[in-house]
Amino acid sequence: MTLTSPSRRVTTPVTPANPSHGALRPLGLSEVQITGGFWSRMQSVNADGTLPHIAHWLEREGWLGNFDLAATGSLTPENRRGREFSDSEVYKYLEAVSWQLGEHRDDKLEKHFRSVVSRVAAAQEPDGYVNTRFGRPGQQARWSDLAWGHELYCAGHLFQAAVARIRTKPDADDGLAQVATRLADLICEVFGVDGIQSVCGHAEVETGLVELGRATGSDKYIEQARIFIERRGTGVLPDIEFGRAYYQDDIPVRDADVLRGHAVRANYLASGAVDVAIETADGVLLDSLTRQWQNTVARRTYITGGQGSHHQDEAFGEDFELPPDRAYSETCASVASIQFSWRLLLAHGDSKYADLIERTLYNVVATSPAADGRSFYYANTLHCRVPGEPADPDAVSPRAEASLRAPWFTVTCCPPNVARTLASLDAYVATASAEGIQIHQYAPAKIATTLDDGESIELSIETDYPTTGAVTIRPLRDASKPWTLQLRVPAWANGSSLTVNGGVVPAEPGYVTHRRQFRAGDEIVLDLPIEPRLSEPDRRIDAVRGAVAVERGPVVYALESVDLPDGWGDVSNIVIDTSVAPQDQGERVVVQLARSIAGEKPWPYNTSDPSHETHSSLVPLIAYHDWAERGPSTMRIWLPTL
Amino acid sequence: MTLTSPSRRVTTPVTPANPSHGALRPLGLSEVQITGGFWSRMQSVNADGTLPHIAHWLEREGWLGNFDLAATGSLTPENRRGREFSDSEVYKYLEAVSWQLGEHRDDKLEKHFRSVVSRVAAAQEPDGYVNTRFGRPGQQARWSDLAWGHELYCAGHLFQAAVARIRTKPDADDGLAQVATRLADLICEVFGVDGIQSVCGHAEVETGLVELGRATGSDKYIEQARIFIERRGTGVLPDIEFGRAYYQDDIPVRDADVLRGHAVRANYLASGAVDVAIETADGVLLDSLTRQWQNTVARRTYITGGQGSHHQDEAFGEDFELPPDRAYSETCASVASIQFSWRLLLAHGDSKYADLIERTLYNVVATSPAADGRSFYYANTLHCRVPGEPADPDAVSPRAEASLRAPWFTVTCCPPNVARTLASLDAYVATASAEGIQIHQYAPAKIATTLDDGESIELSIETDYPTTGAVTIRPLRDASKPWTLQLRVPAWANGSSLTVNGGVVPAEPGYVTHRRQFRAGDEIVLDLPIEPRLSEPDRRIDAVRGAVAVERGPVVYALESVDLPDGWGDVSNIVIDTSVAPQDQGERVVVQLARSIAGEKPWPYNTSDPSHETHSSLVPLIAYHDWAERGPSTMRIWLPTL
């Protein structure tokens, strides 16, 4: 695409991503508040369960203590705790808390936030460098292990935390912004055009730098991000066992056709590259990223929205290589994918990006944390063959693929990533354009903003979506002139309709648009058909050939063994009778399953069919994000057909 | 089972495994010689291509040089080359050369063998310790990293090399046997009942110790193997990210139900455990291993005989988790699996073990090396989605999963493992019992042995199996009394027949038995139906549901993209019309395929079928072991059905 002339913002939204121009303008936390429903409950659990949980573990594992040791000059390779990227978890926590405090005053949390910032600031060195893993006597030298050291990655998370604070509390005198800009200045000096000709093995600093540039007005940070984006893909990092594709150093960003390699790295990189494309009006780069998104979604994404088929390198597989039982689908990859999609949504205004965000939120982000917000999935399998063992709630799990959620991991990127996403989720609900307002995600909410032409808009969203499919929008003030309301109709929602003050019109997938001089008392109702549906996979996805998935609205359903009739055992011998339509029973969907009993065979590749008998029964499925809350079980999303 | 009374051997066969009793007695290289056909060609390539290739790379990479540095006291962590287990590749090479020299006199090779032995011997320390990675100033202390250090693993390979030499050249004065027994004595001292209460993270020393005990008559080595077998599974190794199952330290060997964890480790351990069970008359342990074999073959083995579904930890997956595109199927796991099966075959005399050996030989061992024996697959995928890049013939490949064969790997266990297997392959052809001779593998061969009762037997095998299914056995001398000839009828060979001097009888899968006082001039012909057949997977193998494989005799066939009609592209859009019987065309099998053209879709999980058109055509398949010899291509074994 050719980028059209930028429309400069008249407000500075309180949001993680604030591009200077694009098709849509984000509405931030001061303009949109989720007031109830599914996501409000998730946010409450995040505030009351997850944030204190993370604070506890950061302290307990010594990852905060590393900063204290650094501040007193007593940090050594021997007494430093945690992996090389442990600083980043502290920063993601600070980002999550910033968003939380931006919406809800909490003096105790504010005090904790400031104390953590002080401890980080105390560890910063005179030239601005801050990282507990490198550069001190006995430690590896600064920037000596760009491939695996995660120094710039940590910096990127620090920048995002600072941006969250700058936007939510612009007048705070806590010092976080200064810590970030001093480090950013150093990075620009060290890695500039004439500096170290390399990049970080884990992309992240790019998007952090752009946003810090946007938040502070320092164009040099954006220029440094551009330099990093252009450098990557030219073989500046060492070749490794997984190949340079692992950290996207195989092909220049603008020349790639699809995301590949480590799925978190790939999505963070793509997010930062969109940021750079927008700020530098680089339409060729944006076109490339748009194409990469399309190909990745069409060929390398699970039905849950999850990404990453390989455990070995936490990476994308080849096209259509999407095994449900070996799905890695790392929680962080989904968080990063949402960031990528969101940036393209703002750039292009196409509903498909919001579709994927919704799918990913309901089926990965909501799946990772337990109901109490104190244990998490790191990987999100679509087929669990063996009941998991409960994780020790008081121990660090060495295994990312623990089959029941675990409270903390040796590599624990996912819990604080979920926390910062949920704490800022209000910012993903709606946007504005020159003509009006777009609503992308449906939750009970209040929206109040001012359009570029000065028109003030206030409205409410009332819904119990996705339990039912009705979404009611009520303007709360009389408009002075016409404006346009656009409501997303998901791609699956064929047969939707829009009712405006009693008049019904069909609503096709995409955005249904209504323009008028709205008045308080108007009622706009979008009806989305959320009845259960059977979804068939593309036949090129070999791993799920001959199987269907059940979806209901944006939610993917799953069969969990605890719901099977007595004596049926686990989910491996089940087939679905698709001639019986799935029945909607509110939280559950009931399907007709048959138990297929294969005889014990000494060799599983016989020329004749196994003898088997079938018993059939109505069996409930549950929302995938609710699975594994009832003790050890087996589970599958894809159900083989009779 | 209860072990029946041992029947002590009257001969010492020249063979890798020589149990003191069991249902069958192995016939070694001095009793069986393969004289032509498929395996003879593989053996020639092994001798002329692979062995010099390995010698070259061992020298070039400095893995032999490590011993020289050790001998002069100048080995340091800085100048030592290769991974922690590089010594073992030298030992596997010595084993392979021992078998080779046992069959074919070759003065140049003998000289090289002796020079390598001298270099190893020079590195041995006064107390018998030999390992280039541990124990010197600056190196880690001996036995300080049992989980990952591979010290005992290397020792096990040294013992197997020494056994090969002892059996093939009992009078050789090269010193290899002394190097091995001195190290074995040290290990017994250090790891005995009152010694270090642990085991090696990679099983291998157990089977090496038993065989060294058998070859030298030292029962203490067998006792030490027994101690190692009993210790493992009690949590003596650290818990790791992959879990203790990775190195089979999760469950005591005798309590396990199935192989699990790292597939090479699991099979070496099982082999050593059978050895211990036999030598200690431990029927309970043997029963357990027999059960583990059955469950592993029924649920965790690819149609090629390959084992290991996980790249991440080179490990078995759960039951029926057998993705063809992510098959790891490590070459070494198959070599180890053959060792396990062979030991159970000798113990029980059941043809199913020889069936799996044959399948694994033709479809994994024969697949790994290129036609010239100078490049290798480490992992043996069953579905290649993207054409591989040719490996640099002059470079070490960092990646085990290189999609075209590579000359050498950073971890290069597989090439010498193939070499030692092929060099000793004659020993897997036939066995003897008190009643007569069993032929398990079909190749042109000569057999000459003496039964326990003193009856001398000589016979020839004439066949071009598996090109055709006729196997002719000719006794070469008149017997003095009746004896029993047993010929294996593979499980797939329904409709076989046996013709003895013109009289035909049906031959059921298992062993077809003929007892008579054989005379020179008798002709026994086994006819196996090798026409192509379609094999369907157990429906619990989700990854290949709705697909069939084509097999012909023991050989699994594959579709390679270079054989597709012009314009069909790669193998991803292909379906097979199973209503058309596969046609046998000698080396190739022709099937009716249709090209399924799925429309480009933005999201691969639609509720409606993709529109697609089909063109159908007769397309040849090739033997899987022949794939990837014609440049970059895609390939699949499992063909989706129309």
Contacts of A225 (CB under 8 A, 6+ apart): A205, A206, A207, A209, A210, A213, A272, A275, A276
Q: Do A537 and B604 touch (CB under 8 A)?
A: yes
**Residue that has been written with the tokens 């038993």 in this structure:** B210
Q: Do B547 and A542 touch (CB under 8 A)?
A: yes
* Chain B residues touching residue A301 (CB < 8 angstroms): 604
Assigned token pair, A490: 């998901």
- pLDDT score of B67 more than 90: yes
- pLDDT score of B10 more than 80: no
- pLDDT score of A4 more than 80: no
pLDDT at residue B73, as a whole number = 96
Q: What does residue A618 show for φ and ψ, rounded to 5 degrees? A: -80, 130
Name the DSSP letter for residue A47: I
Minimal Cβ distance to B323: which of A241, A326, A385:
A326
End-to-end CA distance of chain A: 46
| Residues pairing with A589 in the sheet | A584, A621
Name the DSSP letter for residue A363: I
Give the model confidence (pLDDT) of B450-507 as tens digits: 999 999 999 999 999 999 999 999 999 999 999 999 999 999 999 999 999 999 999 9
* Chain B residues touching residue A605 (CB < 8 angstroms): 303, 535-538, 549
Q: Do A542 and B324 touch (CB under 8 A)?
A: yes
Chain B interface disruption, residue of A83, A239, A382, A539, most B CBs within 10 A: A539
- pLDDT score of B95 more than 60: yes
Chain B interface disruption, residue of A494, A542, A570, A634, most B CBs within 10 A: A542
Average pLDDT of the residues in B234-247 = 95
- Top-confidence residue, A597 or B330: B330
Give me the total of CB pairs closer than 8 Å, taking one residue from chain A and one from chain B: 172
- pLDDT score of B539 more than 90: no
Q: What does residue A414 show for φ and ψ, rounded to 5 degrees? A: -70, -45
Name the DSSP letter for residue B610: P
Give the model confidence (pLDDT) of A80-116 as tens digits: 999 999 999 999 999 999 999 999 999 999 999 999 9
Average pLDDT of the residues in A220-249 = 96
CA distance B295 to chain A (A): 8
The C-alpha atoms of residue A29 and residue A165 are separated, in whole angstroms, by 12
pLDDT at residue B45, as a whole number = 98
Q: Do A399 and B533 touch (CB under 8 A)?
A: no
- pLDDT score of B7 more than 80: no
- pLDDT score of A6 more than 70: no
B179 touches B158 (CB < 8 A): yes
Average pLDDT of the residues in A562-586 = 93
- pLDDT score of A551 more than 90: yes
What would you measure as the largest C-alpha separation in chain B, in angstroms? 78
**B240: nearest CA partner in chain A:** A398
- pLDDT score of B400 more than 80: no
- Top-confidence residue, B24 or B567: B24
B102 touches B166 (CB < 8 A): no
pLDDT at residue B392, as a whole number = 87
pLDDT at residue A611, as a whole number = 54
DSSP B320-376: T---STT----HHHHHHHHHHHHHHHHHH--HHHHHHHHHHIIIIITTSB-TTSS-B
CA distance B398 to chain A (A): 5
Angle, vertex CA A270, rays to CA A205 and CA A95, nearest 5: 45
- pLDDT score of B607 more than 80: no
* Chain A residues touching residue B490 (CB < 8 angstroms): none
Q: Do B318 and A410 touch (CB under 8 A)?
A: no
Three-state DSSP state, B616? strand
Q: Do A542 and B544 touch (CB under 8 A)?
A: yes
CA distance A109 to chain B (A): 34
Minimal Cβ distance to A543: which of B298, B533, B542:
B542
* Chain A residues touching residue B320 (CB < 8 angstroms): 385, 572, 604
The C-alpha atoms of residue A262 and residue A337 are separated, in whole angstroms, by 12
Give the model confidence (pLDDT) of A469-506 as tens digits: 999 999 999 999 999 999 999 999 999 999 999 999 99
The C-alpha torsion from B227 through B228 and B233 to B237, rounded to 10°, is 120
How does residue A523 score in pLDDT terms, banded at 50, 70 and 90? very high
- pLDDT score of B614 more than 80: no
Q: Do B598 and A399 touch (CB under 8 A)?
A: no
Query: Please, what is the average pLDDT of chain B?
Result: 94
Average pLDDT of the residues in B348-367 = 98
Give the model confidence (pLDDT) of A30-40 as tens digits: 999 999 999 99
pLDDT at residue B5, as a whole number = 36
Percent of chain A exceeding pLDDT 90 equals: 91
* Chain A residues touching residue B301 (CB < 8 angstroms): 604
pLDDT at residue A9, as a whole number = 41
Q: Do A534 and B385 touch (CB under 8 A)?
A: no
Q: Do A598 and B540 touch (CB under 8 A)?
A: yes
DSSP3 helix / strand / coil % (chain B, rounded to 5)? 35, 20, 45
CA distance B492 to chain A (A): 8
Minimal Cβ distance to B602: which of A298, A540, A573:
A298
- pLDDT score of B522 more than 50: yes
* Chain B residues touching residue A539 (CB < 8 angstroms): 596, 598, 610, 640
Q: Do B294 and A534 touch (CB under 8 A)?
A: no
* Chain B residues touching residue A311 (CB < 8 angstroms): 310-312
Q: Do A539 and B239 touch (CB under 8 A)?
A: no
Three-state DSSP state, B264? helix
pLDDT at residue B2, as a whole number = 36
A165 touches A176 (CB < 8 A): yes
Average pLDDT of the residues in B517-530 = 97
Give the model confidence (pLDDT) of A298-341 as tens digits: 999 999 999 999 999 999 999 999 999 999 999 999 999 999 99
Task: Please tell me whether the interface predicted TM-score (ipTM) of this complex is above 0.90.
Answer: yes
Q: Do B607 and A536 touch (CB under 8 A)?
A: yes
Q: Please say whether the dihedral angle defined by the alpha carbons of residues A543, A546, A547 and A552, taken in this order, is positive or negative.
A: positive
Minimal Cβ distance to B539: which of A319, A596, A607:
A596
Average pLDDT of the residues in B206-217 = 97
- pLDDT score of A403 more than 70: no
Give the containing element (helix H, strand E) for B266: helix B263-279
Q: Do A604 and B299 touch (CB under 8 A)?
A: yes
Chain A interface disruption, residue of B539, B575, B596, B601, most A CBs within 10 A: B539
Give the model confidence (pLDDT) of A65-82 as tens digits: 999 999 999 999 999 999
Percent of chain B exceeding pLDDT 70 equals: 97
Helix axes A351-360, A331-348, angle to 10 degrees: 160
* Chain A residues touching residue B242 (CB < 8 angstroms): 399
- pLDDT score of A607 more than 80: no
Q: Do A605 and B324 touch (CB under 8 A)?
A: no
- pLDDT score of B610 more than 70: no
- Of A537-541, B120-124, B270-274, which range is least confident? A537-541
How does residue B377 score in pLDDT terms, banded at 50, 70 and 90? very high
Minimal Cβ distance to A540: which of B317, B534, B573:
B573
* Chain A residues touching residue B324 (CB < 8 angstroms): 542
B329 touches B365 (CB < 8 A): no
* Chain A residues touching residue B640 (CB < 8 angstroms): 539, 542, 545
Chain A interface disruption, residue of B321, B330, B603, B635, most A CBs within 10 A: B603
Q: Do B294 and A383 touch (CB under 8 A)?
A: no
Angle, vertex CA B594, rays to CA B590 and CA B595, nearest 5: 125
For β-strands A574-576 and A588-598, DSSP reports them as antiparallel
Q: Do A399 and B536 touch (CB under 8 A)?
A: no
The C-alpha atoms of residue A467 and residue A125 are separated, in whole angstroms, by 52
* Chain B residues touching residue A353 (CB < 8 angstroms): none
Q: In what order do the strands lie in the sheet with A496-500?
A: A32-34, A445-450, A456-463, A470-475, A524-527, A496-500, A503-507
Q: Do A398 and B542 touch (CB under 8 A)?
A: no
Q: Do A398 and B325 touch (CB under 8 A)?
A: no
Average pLDDT of the residues in A506-533 = 97
Q: Do A242 and B399 touch (CB under 8 A)?
A: yes
The C-alpha atoms of residue B51 and residue A408 are separated, in whole angstroms, by 50
Query: Please, what is the average pLDDT of chain A?
Result: 94
CA distance A582 to chain B (A): 14
